[in-house]
Structure 1
Amino acid sequence: MSTSVSSRAFRVFSWFTLAYTLAVVLWGAFVRATKSGAGCGDHWPVCNGEVVPLAPTVQTLIEYTHRVTSGLALVLAVVLCVWGLRAHAKGHPVRKAAAASLFFMLTEAAVGAGLVLFKMVADNESIGRAVWMAVHLINTFLLVGAMALTSWWAEGRERLTLKRQGLTGWLLLGSLVGLLVLGVSGAIAALGDTLFPATSLMEGLRQDMSPTAHVLLRLRVLHPVLAVGVGALVVFSAGMVTRLRPSPAVRRAAWQLGVLYVLQLLAGLVNVVLLAPEWMQLLHLLLADLVWVVLVRLSAAGLALGAPRADVKPRPDMDASVA
């Protein structure tokens, strides 16, 4: 197999692994939304003490399917890492990104196992479960981000650098941290919707504002506020980075980010109005993951070694040499 064909095959495989992983993440959200996390009891990795459940309930099938698909995702991550290391020379950024993908896939499996073994599933309303959900969301974003970078650098893009990035680096760092915080608040809000479903929009508002409301409901109110604030930061940062690093890749990613974030806000509004049906929760999460992927790509493009820099003027000696 020629080098070009091998590179193309790895690039396609890296995108497939990312897409499949996103599908597994969505199914995991479906497990939470349907309260099927205890479908296999508190057993892991077996299901109710069996390798293959012989008389499964619907909840058992949902949870078991998630475990099987998650296992395949781990296999894909192993292949991605081994292939990435073997197909790229020492020092190539794909090697680090692929290794990070496998690392975060392993921690993702560990967090998932912890949720089951410590019974942080189904109707558990504890603050501990909210903390586990936050850790799960952050790890998922890091996993997806590492896979997105693997695909990005598999396309032959330049490595990034954090040195002397100035305002561009701070804007992108703030946007990344902001989306992580927003994602955590979204995970907690979704948990509140699952545990304390409302029959009407007014009832939901009364739940949120009640002085005796569960802490998860009180935290749920923060999510839409954060969504608007973080959205303003992300869109502003994308526009500024486009000016500071005026490359086609940056402009394309910034445009995609703006469109996706508007769709994400609209989906969030519809989710609230419709009282968070399961299908809308999944669509909302998918858009959140896509926003994260595009922001990671924007960061890689804006911080690339060879990215044009509008904030750096040529030195006089360079002008003289050119003249």
Structure 2
Amino acid sequence: MTQARFWKLAALALAFTLGVILWGAFVRATGSGAGCGSHWPTCNGDVIPRSPSAATLIEFTHRATSGVAFLLVALQLVWAFVAYPSGHPVRGGAAASMLFMITEAAVGAGIVLLEYVAHDASAARALWMAVHLINTFLLVGAMTCTLYWARGGRRVRLRGQGVTGALLGAGLAGVLAVGVTGAIAALGDTLFAAASLREGLAQDFSPAAHFLLQLRVLHPTVAAAVGVYLLFARGAVAARRPSPEVARLSTATGALVLLQIGAGLLNLLLLAPVWMQLVHLLLADLLWMVLVTFAAAAMSEQASPADAGPPGEKARREAVAI
């Protein structure tokens, strides 16, 4: 187990986990969350379901792939502690990834056992979905940092970041808020599908509408505000932390913000079809990953004297790490 190959496992684990997240959204969007009944970890009382329905196959596939993702993150943790010395940030990132993967499984199990699936439209389900979304983003963030550090990124320094830290912290919190309101809006779209855009807008502003529909208007409002903020903050951070890496990530952040706004508008106009919900979620995950990497790069420790070394030594070390 070497450091040179660790990043490939970290990249695989992250990519596979993103696939599991998207399939989980497909489970919710198709109303297949009750495909295995209220049983967990078994499916309708069986390890492998017999004569499964379409909903059961969809839900069982999500559980099976979640198990594979869990094993990949566990392997990542073991590899990190074998290949990297004590105190290395990769160890911390791998440990955080494992922690959030465990809580992710626990939240998913709770949703199934409490039957907050399928057509349940309770406030409790909305709350559990918000918790699930936040934990998922924290999991993806930890795995993204693990990959970033495995690729040679410097350790993050939280103290003394001043305005830069405040700008980035507010941006990260804002994206989480957008994600939570998006999860609630997606639940409303699934449970109370509208036949037309006019009907959907009428649902949003009707005083007699279900609370999920009344809350749905929060998502575009919060998304627009956070999007404008990110477009401003990423430029301000890049100006305070000038480097080619920070500049590239700042540009990527801005591009993804604009792309996500466009996807959100298209999702609204198309009345949130399942495929568009998945595209919207994927872009949200990619924006979160780029923003987390942007924050890590902007708040990283300055190059140590050891980075100097003889001519060409730093490049050689980076090539070996890759």
Matched position secondary structure for 2:60: helix
What's the offset of the Cα at 1:156? 1.4
TM-score between the two structures when normalised by the length of structure 2:
0.93
Query: 1:157 & 1:59 partners in 2: Cα distance?
Result: 43
The aligned runs of 1:18-97 (5 Å cut-off) are: 18-97=14-93
What amino acid does structure 2 have at the position aligned with 1:253?
L
Query: 1:116 & 1:103 partners in 2: Cα distance?
Result: 20
- Runs of 4+ aligned structure 1 residues displaced above 3 Å come to none
1:276 maps to 272
1:16 paired with 2:12, answer: yes
1:106-142 superposed Cα distances (whole Å, 9 cap, x missing partner):
0000000001000000000000000000000000000
1:275-323 superposed Cα distances (whole Å, 9 cap, x missing partner):
000000000000000000000000000000117xxxxxxxxxxxxxxxx
2:153 to 150, 157, 161: 157
Query: 2:74 & 2:137 partners in 1: Cα distance?
Result: 18
2:100 maps to 104
Query: 2:228 & 2:157 partners in 1: Cα distance?
Result: 26
1:297 paired with 2:293, answer: yes
RMSD over equivalenced CA pairs, Å: 1.1
1:317 maps to none
Aligned length: 304
1:320 maps to none
2:231 to 213, 235, 244: 235
1:121 paired with 2:117, answer: yes
1:221-274 superposed Cα distances (whole Å, 9 cap, x missing partner):
010011110011111111001000001111111111111111111110000000
What amino acid does structure 2 have at the position aligned with 1:140?
T
What's the offset of the Cα at 1:54? 1.1
Query: 1:301 & 1:247 partners in 2: Cα distance?
Result: 9
1:208 paired with 2:204, answer: yes
Among all aligned residue pairs of Structure 1 and Structure 2, give the percentage whose two residues are the same amino acid: 59
1:25-61 superposed Cα distances (whole Å, 9 cap, x missing partner):
0000000000000000000000001111111000000
Larger mean CA deviation between 97-106 and 298-307 belongs to 298-307
What amino acid does structure 2 have at the position aligned with 1:27?
W
Query: 1:98 & 1:249 partners in 2: Cα distance?
Result: 23
Unaligned runs of 5+ in 2: 304-322
Matched position secondary structure for 1:203: helix
2:186 to 186, 190, 206: 190
Matched position secondary structure for 2:288: helix
Unaligned runs of 5+ in 1: 308-323
Query: 2:70 & 2:158 partners in 1: Cα distance?
Result: 30
Matched position secondary structure for 2:194: coil
Query: 2:153 & 2:263 partners in 1: Cα distance?
Result: 32
What amino acid does structure 1 have at the position aligned with 2:53?
T
